[in-house]
Structure 1
Amino acid sequence: MSENYTALYEQHKMAGASFTDFGGWQMPLKYESELAEHHAVRKAAGLFDLSHMGEVWVTGPEAGAFLDYALVGKLSAIADGKAKYSLICNTDGGIIDDLISYRRPSADGVEKYLVVPNAGNARTVAAALKDRAAGFDVTVEDASAETSLIAVQGPNAEAILLKLVPAGQHSLVTELKYYAAVEVTISGEELLLARTGYTGEDGFEIYVPNADAPALWEALLEAGEGHGLIPAGLAARDSLRLEAGMPLYGNELSRHVNAYAAGLGPVVALSKEGDFVGKEALAAIKAAGVGSTIGQKLVGLKGTGRRAARAHYSVLKDGSLIGEVTSGQPSPTLGYPVALAYVDVEHSAVGTVVDVDLRGKAEPFEVVPLPFYKRVK
């Protein structure tokens, strides 16, 4: 059993959660029904403990320039209060992690960013950033161990937050754009509120000191009464992100995968000034046509039958192996099986019919556009 427990572990136990090891953490897999949790997020709201995620603060006069070098995107171009999705790569272009970076308001020439890596990669990313910081006037501080992260996701998320935020700050919540963050007072505490998520729905993520996390969790549950809010675990989080076509590190992304094969080429800012880690390799990969004319490409697959594809199942064309499923399951929202898979680029066009080997039986799937599900705004 993992020795890592979030500050909300006792709340999950009292709610009857089933636990699983994820990234070295004991996390709630589900409470009563993963399907009920999934549908709650799509129709009302779900409450998630994301405290296994990492939080790394990068501060200093050269914070933006440093992140331009350390990551593949142009982080210095982010406006204060905004966020950007990016990748941290090896020199060979392999993906160490995908992450979100928030730029906080600068003061006295000191820039400040919050970099949020995935659970199992938090220490690796923090170490890589500290190593790459040599020669830059920046400080890299790993605050993961002291920070909890709670998410409210779903169409009722905003209404729930407004019950806990002072009336004078309501506009800060209602006017907050997607991929942006602001400091607000929630249940009497000043906390960082981000309009981000991993479900395909509107929602918020709240950064809170560990000591204050249980009280915030309970306050959100109380505020969510009458709005359909229920706690949700990793099983629902996975089915939601899959419907939204969002990659999961360890499934779609790894050190053996590059941004162009993963469909994340637009995230790579090859045109930004100066060097960055992996630039030469990524430029060569793009020039070679990886993910477009050669190699493999990540695609969405829609099952035409009832049986679902699962990770590591083989993808076939006319009986020949052309790829592998990375994630797959029945879609609770759409009512048919969906999957993400890497397939040879010559078979990656939308409308292409392929087969997936479902434990010895070939079942037809069709390449479809991503995401599978997109909320109506």
Structure 2
Amino acid sequence: METFIVAPLIVGGVVAALGLLISILDGIVNNYGEVVVNINNHTKDLTVKGGAPLLRSLSQEKIFIPSACGGKGSCGACKAVINSDVGPLLPTETPYMSEEEKAGNVRLACQVKVKKDIDIEIPEELFNVREYNAVVESTRVMTYDIVELYLKLDQPVKFKAGMYMQLVIPSYKAKKKGDMSFKGTTMRAYSISSPPSDNQSAEFLVRAMPDGRGIATSYVHHHLEPGMHIQTIGPFGDFYLQENDTTMICIGGGSGMAPFRSILRHMKESNMMDREVWYFFGCRDYPDIYYLAEMRALEKEWPNFHCIFALSDQELHEPEEWDESVFGPRSAIIKGRIDHVVARYMKEEISPDSGFEAYLCGGPMMIKGCTIVLLEQGVSQDNIYYDEF
């Protein structure tokens, strides 16, 4: 009996000792000391402790590169040009790199460790990215899987309509059996749905993952409450309103409503209502529709604005009560896949005289299908802007 008790204790002690020894050796062997990060030809030089990923080294110095996955190497967003020899591209980087980017020394900042002095290039606008301490002002259930999150910020934020910010998700424990728990800290990117004029706040639309297991979405849907504190970083992104006179074709789905809501509210506030806008929003069924009354009210105030909700499911569950004074006629809801609906309207309803500019926000399959339609209808690839998630 004593053997069965003592043996595991001995093995455990040996394992613990080996772990400690490895930790000590790692600290000695991989002690890179202080290294210098030269940014944009000495526009800014940082002295950091060597050995950490570039993404983390920069964020610790309050320079934030976009990273929708929180530095896990699964989003491909944290790209930077690295002009120093940091070794070959890793298998975790290559799926996110075009041939042009590979030739141009583009790397993922979360995958490159800073082991010696390093020269990098990043967009100048990233120097304006800030970290904000926010208080949850409100959370509002919009559909069975989408929550509107409204935050009050500790300082004003300056952004263009259509850009996004990153929510910093802390550790949390499951409230009940079957719920998700998370240990550590990560970040997730969400488009800002509030207009730039509301610069002391930030509003987001957060859609739950289909399996309910999303780290960030579970936290927002099941843990965040009014009065709680959360950090957010931004703004980021090159998906924003281009100011010209072309006809806008906007296509979204799910939480892809967010950037368009920011853009439309900004356009109305800025008296840009001479511009023609066609907004197509794809849903599966009636329960997926939200902000419908708001869009119908906007149509009445803005004659050049047209909003079409398209429902793709074969069997639809129409609500028993329908207030036409709020929602408009049932016929205003089109049945069909979003790319088919867009194609029909562009062929039959929308004049090409002013030229086209297209904005797409949603999942990859929706974006792919609608891009094909847009190109077939004569929209230039250079005039198609994407926010894919």
In the superposition, the TM-score normalised over structure 1's length comes to: 0.29
Give the TM-score, by structure 2 length: 0.28
Larger Rg: 2
Structure number having the greater helix percentage? 2
Would you tell me which structure has more strand in proportion to its own residues? 1
Q: Which has the higher contact order (CA 8 A, sep 6+)?
A: 1
